[in-house]
Structure formats: structure tokens, C-alpha cells
Amino acid sequence: MENTQGLSRRGFFGAGAGGYAAAIEAAENGASVVVLEKAEKIGGDSALCDGILGGWGTRLQKDAGIELTADEVFEWFTANPEWYGAFDMDVARLNADKCGETIDWLQDIGVEFEPEVGPRFGYTELPAIHQVIGKGAAMMDVLAKTAEAAGVTTYTGAPAIGLEADETGRIIGVRAEKGGDAFNVKAKKGVVIASGGFAGSSEVLTAFNSESAGLMARSDPNMTGDGLLMAMEHGAHICKADRLPLVSSLAGLETKSPVNLNYAFRLHEIWLDADGKRFFDESTPFESPLGHNAILRKQNAQGGAQPVAFVGTTPELSALSEKMPIQWPTANTVEEAAELAGLDPVAVKATVDAYNAACAAGRDDECGRPAEFLVPLEAPFYVAPITSMTTLSLGGLKIDVDARVQRMKSPADKGAVHQPIAGLYAAGETCEWNCAAGWTVLTAMTTGRIAGRNAASEQASE
């Protein structure tokens, strides 16, 4: 393996959307760039995403006669902090201001979009959503080819294993491995961490928040928080990583016909605990973490036993069955369905009777379900355990609006509480503010572009 020690390079790690956006900008601003990718292929979670990007003021919106402002996007970011959370208002504002520019930039480098722009169920009611043709895989293909054409060198199967600093604390390089051989990349102008989050590691998820112990980690298995942990060794300030990650609830995963509850279809199910009782308002919006977190917490309280989705036959279930076979255990009586789920038939019958009575009365005193979602449970009945899973971690490295990684000052230091770690930048899910429906991958590219430009403009270290 070539040892790149001493070359005038800018080091990156993470060959996803954020990393390549940073690499392209740095290369186009005169830097010599190396991208280190832990996996054997590029893309990570970005290649697996649906290519749904939110923005305002784009050419596509103007062509469609859509008027949307940065202020409206920022207000949407901050309207529901309990959902995703605009943790850092300055960085959230930056992403609100620049998101449309990033979409236009993607078009400029060859990413193709559907011409229609508008709101999207499960993402945002704003007329902001742009759909990449070919989804994330097609977008990553364009980014990779653009980076290669700009002179970026990419090493796959080459995980970064540490950051190098000089005597002043400035980051001056990256230690990496490939094929069992160690090598160094000397970064004379800076290092950008774009290595994603830690939703692929149950161990790291649980280390930050013990409630995550019952979660199924469903992200790219390479998303293990490597960049975040390396930066911590150099004093990086980690924010909000102890929050529960973005949790989804899948019923029937074991039957190979999983349904993401309350997402594409409302099945009007009830959720039952190990005692056969309801425990939360099942109509909670999919975008809100409250219902999903309640399921996970109930599972934890039950020693790992999964709550159960109990579903009656409704037009919504019939419509879903036309799109995909529902291979869940089914029965014609409540008691039989309860037995199939391993629950006490008498307790479940009492719960279903009470719920159906609430539907008839138009009022749910037990869990507060709104009357419009009080749909009675009728035979045949379907039951399935609910699996709590995550594909996206929340929180991470504190950055400023220049994408510089921040540390907290020591008591002896003067000046602001936060101070940049010289030579170190970050972008995307590895950062504190990293998630809003329709803006998650786009945020990685927006902050990545800023990180790339700013690192390339740094005075080279010797």
C-alpha cells in the first residue's frame, strides 16, 4: 500500500454524500484530496436512501411556480423539537438558507430529478420535496464520478483508525489501514470527518443511551461512530448523542411481511403489552418519535418482550394487502388471536371490548386516541410482535457555521466557550444537527460543501 506521508493532501473519511460533496469542493478549490472509505464500496447510507431532498428557491420550484422561503424552512425545522430537534439554531439556520443551493448544485453536476416538487407524506407539508431519479444510488454515482474527474483519490476498504495532531493540537493527518497494512495521510490543509453516525452499532448506541439496548441496529453496519469517537480523543464536544436515535416500529418483521406502523397506511391497530393492555395512543403521527419511543420503552420495561400489534380488518388493511401479502397470524376471534400472540385471551378480550366501547362512545379515556382514529376492531384479527429499530443516530460533533469541529475551552483558556479544533471539520450524520425529514442527506452535502471549501482555503501546515 502506498504510504502517503508527506504529501500535500487534504484527508477525508467517509465516501458518502457528505464526504464526496466536501471532496469535490475542496478539489475544485485547489486542494489535493484523499477519501478514505471503511467499506469495500462507496455510498454508505447515502446510496441506500430514497433520494428525497427538501429545499427552497430551486430552479425546479421556480419552473413549477412554487414560492417557498428560507424562513419557512427554518420555522419547520424548529416547530417540532421533540421530533428531530433543531439542536443548534445557527447550524439549522445555515441549512435552511443553503439547502436550495445544494439541490441546484446537484443538478449542475448531473444529478437528475423528477420535475414535480411538493409536500410528501411522512416528510413535510412544505412544497419542498425534490425526488432524485434513481434515488440515492444514482446520486452517489454522479458524486463519485464528479469527484474522480476533479482529481479526488478514493481508497475503499481503508478504514481510518485515528487522527494525528501536532504539538499545538492542530489535526495534521489521518492514520488508516488497508489490507492489514497501516499508512498515514498527511493533511496539510485539514481533515473532514464525514463518516456517518453510529446507528449500525448496538454497542455504541447503548453506550450513549442505555435505552437503546433493545433496538435493532438496521443502518449500514459500517456506521459505527468511528469518526465521532476519534474526534472525541482530541477533545471534540459531543452534543445530544445521548438522545434516543430515530426509532421506527415494524410489526411482523419475523413473518417477512413487515409493516412500518402508521407510515404508508394507518391500520388503526392497538398496541398491547405483555399483560394484554394498551399503553399509548396508537394514532401518534409517524414523524413523531413519541409513539415509537413508547414501544421501545415498554419493551425494555418488559425485559425485552416485544409489544404486540393487534389489528382488525379495515379498508386500510385490505388496501395494504393488495400491495403486499400480510403473512401475520390471524384468527376469527379475539381469544384465538391472543393465543397466537402468546397473550392471555381473557385480558386481551377485556382490552378489545373496552377499546370498541370507546369507539362507540367516540372518546378514548384510556390512551387519549382522537375520535377520528377510533376505528372498531372487527374479525378476522391479525397479530404481530413489534420490533423497534433504528437507521439514524441523533447528535454528534458540535460544529459551527464554517463546519469546524468545536471543543469546550479549558478553565485556563480565555474567549468563547466553544473553540474550533484547528484543522478539523465535519459534515452530515456525524454532527450534532443532522436530521430532519427530507433534509438529512441534503444536510450532509450542504455542510460537506462548506467544510470542503473552508478546509481548502486554510493555510497549509508544515
Q: What is the pLDDT of residues 107-139, one digit of tens each?
A: 999 999 999 999 998 788 999 999 999 999 999
How many distinct structural domains can be found in the chain? 2
Q: Are residues 378 and 404 in the same domain?
A: no
- Specify whether the CB–CB gap between 236 and 406 falls below 8 A: yes
108 and 30 in a common domain: yes
**Domain end marker among 362, 389, 416:** 389
| Shared-domain flag, residues 367 and 224 | no
Same domain, residue pair 80 and 206: yes
Q: Establish if 318 belongs to a structural domain.
A: yes
Residue 3 has a pLDDT of 43
Angle between helices 89-109 and 440-456 (to 10 degrees): 90
Do 420 and 385 reside in the same domain of the chain? no
Do the Cβ atoms of 20 and 153 come closer than 8 Å?
Answer: no
Question: Whole domain around residue 339: which residue ranges?
Answer: 246-389
User: Domain check: are 154 and 269 in the same one?
Assistant: no
77 Cβ partners below 8 Å, 6+ apart? 84, 86, 92, 95, 96, 436, 439
Helix (H, G, I), strand (E, B) or coil at 104: helix
CATH code of residue 416: 3.50.50.60
Per-residue tens of pLDDT for the chain, all 462 residues: 344 443 345 566 788 999 999 999 999 999 999 999 999 999 888 998 999 999 999 999 999 999 999 999 999 988 877 666 567 899 999 999 999 999 999 999 999 999 999 999 878 899 999 999 999 999 999 999 999 999 999 999 999 999 999 999 999 999 999 998 999 999 988 999 999 999 999 999 999 999 999 899 887 888 999 999 999 999 999 999 998 898 989 999 988 888 888 665 688 999 999 999 999 999 988 778 889 999 999 999 999 999 999 999 988 888 888 888 889 999 999 999 999 999 999 999 999 999 999 999 999 999 999 999 999 999 999 999 999 999 889 999 999 999 999 999 887 778 888 999 999 999 999 999 877 888 999 999 999 999 999 999 876 555
Examine residue 462 and state whether it is found in any structural domain, yes or no. no
Is 315 part of any domain?
Answer: yes
**Same domain flag for 278 and 378:** yes
Q: What is the CATH number of the domain that holds 316?
A: 3.90.700.10
For residue range 293-326, list pLDDT tens digits in order.
Answer: 999 999 999 999 999 999 999 888 888 888 888 8
Mean of per-residue pLDDT scores for the chain: 91
> Environment class of residue 226 by beta-carbon count within 10 Å: exposed (0-12), middle (13-18) or buried (19+)?
buried
| Helical (H) or strand (E) element with 52 | strand 52-54
Instruction: Pick the last residue of a domain from 389, 413, 445.
Output: 389
Q: Kindly state whether residues 192 and 231 are assigned to the same domain.
A: yes
